[in-house]
Amino acid sequence: MKQLAVRGLEQRARLDSGVDTFDLAIGYVNDDERSIENLRAVSAEMAPTRIAYLAKISPSDAPESDSRFGREECLDSLHGFRCLEWTETSGREVAAFLYDAAIKSGDSKVSCYLDVSAMPRSLAASILVTLRLLAEVNIEVRLTLGYCLAEYTAPSQAAMPPNRRVSPVHDLLAGWTQDPSSPVQVLVGLGYERGKALGAVEYLQPSDWRLFLPESPEERFFTDVQTQNAELLEGTKDAHKFEYNVLDPAFQFVTMHSMIRAMIVDTRPVFLPFGPKIFFAVCVLLGLMFPSVAVWHVSGEEQAMPSKRKPSEHRVQFSLSLLCVELDEPKDDNSFTSAIKHFLTVSSHGNIHSPSDG
C-alpha cells in the first residue's frame, strides 16, 4: 500500500452554509439528542446526499420504549436524511458512492462530512478505512470530522459491564511491524468508564504507556476522568500524562503525529482511545497513516455509556485532505491499486443515492 498523507488542516466551530459543500454527509443517530446536533446544520444545499446510520434497536425494546422513542424523535428532526441500518456491506457502499462521485467530478476529488459525536467506534473506524482505500486509488478525499461535546452527565453508578473483547478496532488497524520483538507502547485516551483503560492496558502488558486526559469547557468531565482512572494515573509517570483540549483535534493530530513518528523507530505503538470520539477519530487517522501503529478498542464499551446525552453549545469541525504518496519508486505493477479499483467498481452503492440522482 502507498503512504497516506494529509494536508490542508483546518478547524472551526461551525459549518458555514455559504462555503462548506460535501459530496456525502454521514452521521449516526441514536436516542441521544447530541447525535443530531451537528447533522441538523448540514443542509441539502451543503450536501445533496446525507445518510443517517441508525442505532440498532434491541428486539427487547418495546415500541414505546425510551430508546426507540428517543431515536424516532431524533430522526423526525432530521429532514432529508436517508436513514439506513449499518450492515457489513455499508462501508463498501460508501466507498463505491464516493468513488463514483470522484470519477464523475473529473478531478478525482471528493468531500465527505462525518459526524462522529455519537458514532460507535467500530463504525467510525470502518468509514475512515473506506476513505483511506479511496486515497489508495489516487482520489483525494476532503474529510471534515464533526464533533459536538455533550453536556456533563455523571458516570453511571451501576456496575460496569466487563470488558468483552480487547482487540483492534478494524483488521486494517491491527498494526504491522517489521520487528515483532520490539516493545509495545500504548497511548491511552482516558474516558470516564471506570477501570476500562486499566483492564485494557493490563491485557496488553506494554513496556510503557502514555495517558491522554481530555479537557473541555465541561470541566466536571475532567474531574470524573481522573477519579475513574485513579489507579492507572497513580501508576503512571508524570512525564507520560498529557492533557489535551477535546475541541482542538488539529492540535491533537499534529502533536500525536510527531510523537508517533518518534515512537515507531523502535517500538510498536498501540492506541487505546477511550473517551471523546473525536480523539478516537484522530487516532484512527494516525493509524491509517502509520501502518505499524495499531488502534484497539474494547467491545461492549458502548453499552456502558449513559444514553440521552444532551448536546452542549461546544462543537468543532476538523477538516483535512487525505491522499496517497509514493515514498519509494513506483512499483512495476500497480496491481494493488487495480485490485482496489476493481473492488470499488464492482460494488454497488445500494441504498445510497448515486451522485446523479440529485
In whole angstroms, how close is the CB of 225 to another protein at the nearest point?
Answer: 16
Q: Is 227 in the site for another protein (CB under 8 A)?
A: no
Integer Cα distance of 324 and 2 in angstroms: 6
294, 306 Cβ separation under 8 angstroms: no
Residues 294-333 that bind another protein (CB under 8 A): 294, 296, 298-299
350 binds another protein (CB under 8 A): no
Angle between helices 90-105 and 335-345 (to 10 degrees): 100
Q: With beta carbons less than 8 A apart as the criterion, state whether 110 and 134 touch.
A: yes
Based on the shown chain and the rule CB under 8 A, indicate whether residue 339 belongs to the binding site for another protein.
yes
Is 14 one of the binding residues for another protein (CB under 8 A)? no
Task: Find the binder of another protein among 135, 201, 281, 289 (CB under 8 A).
Answer: 201
Q: Which of 138, 195, 242, 257 is close enough to bind another protein by CB under 8 A?
A: 195
In our burial notation (b when 16+ CB lie closer than 10 A, e otherwise), range 178-213 reads eeeebebbbbbbbbbbbbbbbbbbeebebeebbbbb
266 binds another protein, rule: CB under 8 A: no
Q: Which is nearer to another protein, 164 or 310 (CB)?
A: 164
Contact between 242 and another protein by CB under 8 A: the answer reads no
Comparing CB distances to another protein, the nearer of 92 and 142 is: 92
Task: Tell me the helix, strand and coil percentages in the chain, rounded to 5.
Answer: 35, 25, 40
- Measure the CA–CA gap between 135 and 335, rounded to whole angstroms: 15
Binding footprint of another protein on the chain (CB under 8 A): 1, 160-168, 171-181, 183-184, 195-196, 198-207, 209, 231-232, 234-236, 268, 270, 291, 294, 296, 298-299, 335-336, 339-340, 342-343, 346
